Amino acid sequence: MRDHDATIETERTAENVHGEMSTQTVLRSTTMTSPVGELTVVASSAGVRAVLWPLDGPDRVRLTEVESSGGSDAGIATDRRDEILAAAVDQLEDYFRGERTAFDVPLDAHGTGFQLDAWRALQTIAFGTTISYGEQADRMGDKRKARAVGAANGRNPISIIVPCHRVVGSTGALTGFAGGMDAKRWLLDHESRVAGHTLV
């Protein structure tokens, strides 16, 4: 359920650190309730930029362009950005109800080249399954980079939709997760239950 929507603005012109004028995209956000806590969904005109946890700090995912203010449902589904937010919330709600095992909402993740490669690799992990950081690194072409992959996963801005929760330690043990270990355990248990039902 969508709870609160931030104000909307197409773009603004700002001075960058070099004193040059540049156009900066203003992001739109909404919050939703979920079984793993309140989530904040952030989108640009191109796609979902982030799905954030209740205790996410500004150092993990930097979103300096987000503007939020009071009010709700201001212009929902009147332009592309609103449609993206609405679609993301709808798909997440379907996921939590066990009615969706894959997401097709457009994404607009920002990161380094290596981070983007790691996040793309996350999207290849099948629903209801897990892999290790070493396996993810191997899929990316260098199994020795498991530690760097772990760091990149820790910066994944689009939680759940880009499923970093499906990566576990080499022994199968649950490891660090931005949403907390209880949330990671819930997500994996939920997917296991749903996969068990859908595969019968």
Q: Which are the catalytic amino acids?
A: 164
Asked if residue 29 lies in contact with residue 59, where contact means CB atoms within 8 angstroms, the answer is no
Helix then strand then coil, % of the chain, to nearest 5:
35, 20, 50
Which residues, 6+ apart, have CB-to-CB distance to 175 below 8 Å?
A: 133, 150, 167, 168, 169
CA end-to-end span of the chain, whole Å? Answer: 30
| DSSP bridge partners of 29 | 42
Q: How many CB atoms lie within 10 A of CB 165?
A: 26
Amino acid at 20: E
